[in-house]
Chain A
Amino acid sequence: MKSSNQRRAVIIGGVRTPFLRAFGDFTPLSTIDLGAAAVKGLLTQFPIAWKEIDSMIWSGVVLPSATVNVGREILFDLGLPMEIDAYTITRVCTSSLSAITLAAAAIERGEADVMIAGGSDSTSNAEVKMPQSLVHKFAPVVLSPKSTVKDYFRLLTQLNPKKDLIPQRPAIRERLTGELMGESAEKMASRNQISRKSQDIYAMQSHQRAAKAIESGRFASEITPVTLPNGRKVYTDNIVRGNTSLKKLAKLKPAFAKNGSLTAGNSSTLTDGAAAVLLMEIEKAKALGFTPLSQFRSWSYDAVDPTDQLLIGPAISMPKAVHRAGMVRKDIDLIDIHEAFAAQVLSVLKVLGSDQFAKDRLGYDKAFDTIDPKDINIHGGSVALGHPFAATGARMVITMSNELKLSGKSTALLGICGAGALSAAAVLEAV
């Protein structure tokens, strides 16, 4: 291995499973199954000798409590060498981007030459938990070897059917504010004065672009088919509505507030899916005969105050990442922003155009840029494609890396917001 300061991590490529609406065809597949399908697809498309793989960083948001280290289980399920190290991270919607940049950092640090990074989520398999009070009542009796039948009977008399036996719904609310993410985005829409119409127009753009990309086969090499337990194969995304219109979108009822502007049509939906990316040290890639697609020029992970504007983070992270890359706005060719909600994307774009925001929040003199919503997400985004929390970042890295190659452009800027008011951005450049 060369000394770490000369090493460069590059992205060879990536694939994802189709993204399906939760409680659809993927319901029988756990997050481990989905992850395994993505990694299997990756290794099929980029046939590398298994012994060359050093390590894997996986990610997930809705983690199965019995096997939190999903990545390691994926290796087992695929029969990959037991010697490949794997760990699993969770960093809300920035999870898989984080897994990928961690892998890039590890390669450049000299920890590994070949790495897989990605993420998966099965929201259909979010665990429904029994109340903790039930656990606290049962555990002492069940775990004690001295417990008798009498103790078990006594236990039954202590149960409170209402408090102890009704399972808890998985929490999708912010723990700090108690708000659903949609409610927070609704607040952002009204504070930044983002109209229902502009959200619908943006959502339509996302759907139409995604549909076009699917039709034209642009996503064909990025998506790996998944075989269901019943033997049927799923080839394509099922959330995209290419035939949607403003009229149809305008008919939808507000989803989060009585007179709100966010609807099911202009928000991303609960989705099952997975995505995986192959990274290598550049010399290693050459030695193994792989052509790199892209590499990271910079990245930035940030956090803002969840009680203010929960999903505004990309407006901090994106200019910071560009700054860190030693670039300015005009050096960036493509921009891809994760669309949790159309309102959130439009709010982020709005403050990116504000000098005051740049001054107060970033300490820069000038606003990043006034960006037309038409100029971002050229192949649609999470509103149309769906949003398996820990697969979205990897999806964006894959689509943008391929886009750099296909279009001959040189740089792409990614931005992702997440729960807990986290955010991430990265600058990818063609190799």
Chain B
Amino acid sequence: MNDYMIQLTKNPIIQKLIHKMGLPKPPVELHRNNNPWEERPFNDQPVVIGQICKSAITKILAETVVKGGGNPFIENDNTILNIFNEVGHGHGRLPQVLVQNELPENLSPKILIFDATNLQKPEDLNRVYTFFKNYLRALALCGRVMIVSRPPDTQNDISIAATSRALEGFMRAMAREIGFKGATANIVYAAPDAENRLEPVLRFFLSERSAYISGQPLHINNRVISDEPIPKKRPLDGKTALITGAARGIGAAIARTMAREGAHVIIMDRPGEDIPAGKLAAEIDGHLLFCDITEPSAGDQMYEKIEKLGNGLDIIVHNAGITRDKLLINMKHEIWDQVLHVNFRAILRVNKKLLPIMRSNGRIVCLSSVSGIAGNRGQTNYAASKAGVIGFISALAPEVSEKGIAVNAVAPGFIETQMTAQIPFATRLVARRLNNLNQGGTPDDVAETITFLSSPGAFGVTGQVLRICGGALIGA
């Protein structure tokens, strides 16, 4: 499951050789953080923040950066400077002003943030252009670029709406340009009344936990009501999470990550997976539940197990999924039905059964796929099921938001797992390169994202599909 190119380029001699021979630059090994959540995810990293002028989120940005341990660099504007000074004062992280928009020598910012929330007219895009043109070259290896804007659909003014939509195209193109150094770019659209939900989202996106998310938009809204504190560490402490198909691969990674963050994990899988599931349960002190998800009684069995444990249910991760690829013209009804049953119909059925015992501030995350967005040759069944999941979460989200439950999906691209290891060699070779970062993701990349979406801080995110694909070239 290793990407031999990354392994190869760790060797300095080979590095030199590749350089000498004028071969294209091999992919950078991404900086990842799979340690427990920390107080300060950007500890001591330089963060450059650009703004058109002081906005409603200036203070939130200052607090996010400073509390996250970043050292803020800002452009010369007195009102903004005052806010950053005030906030930085209490944390010993006073802002440094960039004189004539020039970075100090040898400074490579790890994070670039542009606040475009008060974008007014198409001409304002020039500010965005100038900001990134100035600083993008200096961006550190595996750096993060983030644009914060208002959602185009909440704008009454046509010119503002159009302009904020332009940012997305800009960001996606920029993400492709910086991918060679392992850096990512994303955009967050914060609804005007959801600004206070921005900080936890930025803490995730600007950290090394979001290493494989690039070129993606994310909307933050205020639909889900939350009445719990937002911890910076151990976000899932005391929560109970049910993960289907948790014995191996991505499911096991999710179980490990959630357990690491304090969750009681119910590892659910087929009875045939008892050995890996048992090992995992011992490792993370989890609970085991074996049942066939396609059986009509599966939901009841889960319900019973949760009742017996007596802690209620806070998180459901609908992870169980299978592939049975065949061209449509050759696809037997049996495998068509099997894939749709496991990947789609079972989710609907199980979810309906479990919803009543979900506690408030609950989180539901479904595994979709880039294939469900873009479609893949030979995967009519799989793509249908994974696209269906997207429909499912969009329809469910508004229904349960008043209960304080957020529902989202993640759509992984090429992830190095046993499932993708079975793809024929040549196809796999090409497939993992077809993205901005020139490499595949890891199960941990998916697990970290789902853990974030399951955390109290993710209450601003609901009804969304977040792609974990390194900015895949397909399905944009």
Q: Chain A interface (Cβ within 8 Å of chain B)?
A: 188, 191-193, 305, 307-309, 312, 347, 350-351, 353-361
Docked complex Cα distance between A358 and B91 (Å) = 10
Interface assignment of B92: CB less than 8 Å from any CB of chain A = yes
Interface contact A361-B90, CB-CB below 8 Å: yes
Docked complex Cα distance between A351 and B66 (Å) = 14
What is the distance, in angstroms, from A46's C-beta to the closest C-beta of chain B?
43
Given contacts A307-B43, A308-B40, A308-B69, A356 and B90 within 8 Å (CB-CB): yes
**A/B pair count, beta carbons within 8 Å:** 44
1/0 per residue B56-94: CB within 8 Å of A? 000000000001010100000000000000110111111
Interface contact A360-B91, CB-CB below 8 Å: yes
Interface assignment of B153: CB less than 8 Å from any CB of chain A = no
Count chain A CB atoms within 10 A of each CB in B67, B71, B89, B90 and give the residue with the most: B90
Given contacts A308-B40, A308-B69, A191 and B94 within 8 Å (CB-CB): yes
Interface contact A351-B92, CB-CB below 8 Å: yes
Given contacts A309-B92, A350-B89, 9 further A-B contacts (CB under 8 A): A188-B92, A191-B71, A191-B94, A305-B40, A308-B40, A312-B92, A354-B90, A355-B86, A356-B90
Interface contact B92-A305, CB-CB below 8 Å: no
Residue of B nearest to A307 (CB): B43
Interface contact B92-A356, CB-CB below 8 Å: no
Taking CB atoms, residues of chain A closer than 8 Å to B92 are 188, 191-192, 309, 312, 347, 350-351
Docked complex Cα distance between A342 and B69 (Å) = 24
Given contacts A307-B43, A308-B40, A308-B69, A356 and B93 within 8 Å (CB-CB): no
Interface contact B40-A356, CB-CB below 8 Å: no
Docked complex Cα distance between A356 and B89 (Å) = 7
Interface assignment of B39: CB less than 8 Å from any CB of chain A = yes
Taking CB atoms, residues of chain A closer than 8 Å to B71 are 191
Residue of A nearest to B86 (CB): A356
Interface contact A357-B90, CB-CB below 8 Å: yes
Taking CB atoms, residues of chain A closer than 8 Å to B93 are 191
Interface contact B90-A192, CB-CB below 8 Å: no
Residue of A nearest to B89 (CB): A354
Docked complex Cα distance between A273 and B71 (Å) = 40
Interface contact A351-B40, CB-CB below 8 Å: no
- Per the 8 Å Cβ criterion, residues 76-122 of B in contact with A are 86-87, 89-94
What is the distance, in angstroms, from B94's C-beta to the closest C-beta of chain A?
5
Docked complex Cα distance between A308 and B86 (Å) = 19
Q: CB within 8 A of B39: which of A305, A312, A350, A359?
A: A305
Taking CB atoms, residues of chain B closer than 8 Å to A347 are 92
Given contacts A191-B93, A192-B94, A308-B69, A356 and B39 within 8 Å (CB-CB): no
1/0 per residue B404-432: CB within 8 Å of A? 00000000000000000000000000000
Docked complex Cα distance between A88 and B318 (Å) = 57
Taking CB atoms, residues of chain B closer than 8 Å to A355 are 86, 90
Residue of A nearest to B66 (CB): A356
- Per the 8 Å Cβ criterion, residues 25-52 of B in contact with A are 39-40, 43
Given contacts A191-B94, A192-B94, A193-B94, A357 and B39 within 8 Å (CB-CB): no
Given contacts A305-B39, A307-B43, A308-B69, A356 and B94 within 8 Å (CB-CB): no
Taking CB atoms, residues of chain B closer than 8 Å to A357 are 89-91
What is the distance, in angstroms, from B105's C-beta to the closest C-beta of chain A?
14
1/0 per residue B176-214: CB within 8 Å of A? 000000000000000000000000000000000000000
Count chain B CB atoms within 10 A of each CB in A193, A305, A356, A358 and give the residue with the most: A356
Taking CB atoms, residues of chain B closer than 8 Å to A192 are 92, 94
